[in-house]
């Protein structure tokens, strides 16, 4: 597969997994004081909670069922999710122990009835380009070669991103870490398709998804697809204003 093949044309149809896992259990410390009384996924951007932006994108792509993990202010999240009648919603309860991203995926695995499945962080804001971002991922998924396929965006176009980038990409789409490079050209958007086999034999308790990605990198099975639209890291109160200003000015 060439790098050009990792860019989906708008007229190509794709079968999107019908189930998605939404990672919504974080404490939202960087978003304080807005998260003093509400969980981060319910913080509003452009007039709508972050969680609803994610759910709307999932619905538009054809997702029918969501599994959502909860920890901080879980009752507020569950009450909000009950208002969404366009999905079958299952809660993965982490009230007793916050399991981080990787541990949260492992705990929720028995509730996920789809393989592969979509996994989405709840604090992203993205705008589709010529192609639906989730259909782009689905069109590039190849279970024979991949354990995870990450939607990435060029560092230069990652709105509000303050880091040095996450990955380098080979011409055929394989990802590798930034390593000792000063900067990596691609940033992870928080959106991916993942095979359930990647969750097998995972450690117990809290751990980061980075551990799972490192396993996939070691076997040459972590790939990326390049997002064609807009994407914003909405992790702090100032980032909300910056995102809304960017959207208002096109």
The string of pLDDT tens digits covering residues 191-219 is 999 999 999 999 989 999 999 999 999 99
Burial 36-54 (b: 16+ CB within 10 A, else e): eebbbbbbebeeebbbbbb
Q: Which two tokens stand for residue 140?
A: 């590039």
**Closest residue by Cα to residue 177 from 122, 139, 216, 119:** 216
Q: What angle do CA 22, 69, 127 make, to 5 degrees?
A: 20
What is the C-alpha separation between 191 and 128, in angstroms, rounded?
A: 13
Q: CA-CA distance, 63 to 45, in Å (whole number)?
A: 22
CA dist list (Å): 180 to 168, 177, 214, 224, 242: 12, 9, 16, 20, 30
Nearest-CA neighbor of 159 among 57, 50, 58, 235?
235
Which pLDDT value is given to residue 119? 98
Let me know if residue 145 belongs to a domain: yes
Higher pLDDT, 139 or 1: 139
Instruction: Quick: pLDDT tens for 107-160.
Output: 999 999 999 999 999 988 999 999 899 999 999 999 999 999 999 999 999 998
C-alpha to C-alpha distance for 189 and 102, rounded to whole angstroms? 16
Q: What is the pTM of this model?
A: 0.92
Mean per-residue pLDDT over the chain, rounded: 92
Mean pLDDT of 75-100: 95
Classify residue 6: in a domain, yes or no: no
Is 197 within a domain?
Answer: yes
Q: Answer yes or no: is 152 within a domain.
A: yes
Domain contains 7? no
CATH number at residue 114: 3.90.550.10
Region of poorest pLDDT, from 3-7, 29-33, 112-116: 3-7
pLDDT of residue 9: 41
Name residues whose C-beta falls within 8 Å of residue 210's C-beta, 6 or more positions apart in sequence: 102
Residue 95 lies in a domain: yes
Within-domain flag for 1: no
Give the per-residue pLDDT at 12.
Answer: 43
> What sections of 62-132 are H helices per DSSP?
74-82, 100-108
Query: How far is residue 250's CA from residue 211's CA, in Å, rounded to a whole number?
Result: 37
Assess if residue 8 is contained within a domain: no
Give percent of the chain with pLDDT exceeding 90. Answer: 85
- Domain enclosing residue 82, as ranges: 14-248
Total of domains in the chain: 1
pLDDT of residue 104: 97
């Amino acid at each position: 597969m060439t790098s050009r093949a990792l860019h989906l044309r708008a007229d190509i149809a794709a079968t999107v997994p019908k189930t998605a896992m939404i990672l919504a259990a974080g404490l939202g410390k960087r978003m304080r004081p807005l998260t003093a009384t509400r969980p981060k996924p319910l913080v509003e951007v452009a007039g709508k909670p972050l969680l609803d932006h994610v759910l709307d994108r999932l619905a538009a792509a054809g997702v029918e069922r969501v599994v959502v993990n909860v920890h901080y202010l879980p009752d507020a999240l569950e009450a909000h999710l009950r208002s969404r009648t366009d999905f079958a919603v299952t809660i993965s309860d982490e009230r007793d122990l916050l399991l981080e991203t990787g541990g949260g995926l492992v705990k929720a695995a028995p509730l996920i009835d789809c393989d592969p499945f979509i996994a989405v962080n709840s604090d992203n804001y993205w705008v589709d380009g010529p192609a639906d971002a989730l259909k782009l991922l689905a069109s590039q998924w190849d279970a024979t070669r991949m354990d995870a396929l990450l939607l990435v965006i060029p560092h230069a176009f990652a709105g509000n991103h303050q880091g040095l980038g996450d990955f380098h990409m080979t011409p055929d789409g394989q990802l590798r870490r930034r390593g000792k490079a000063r900067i990596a050209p691609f940033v992870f958007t928080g959106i991916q398709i993942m095979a359930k086999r990647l969750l097998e034999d995972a450690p117990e308790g809290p751990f980061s998804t980075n551990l799972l990605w490192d396993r996939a990198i070691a076997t040459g099975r972590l790939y990326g697809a390049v997002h064609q639209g807009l994407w914003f890291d909405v992790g702090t109160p100032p980032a909300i204003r910056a995102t809304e200003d960017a959207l208002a000015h096109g």
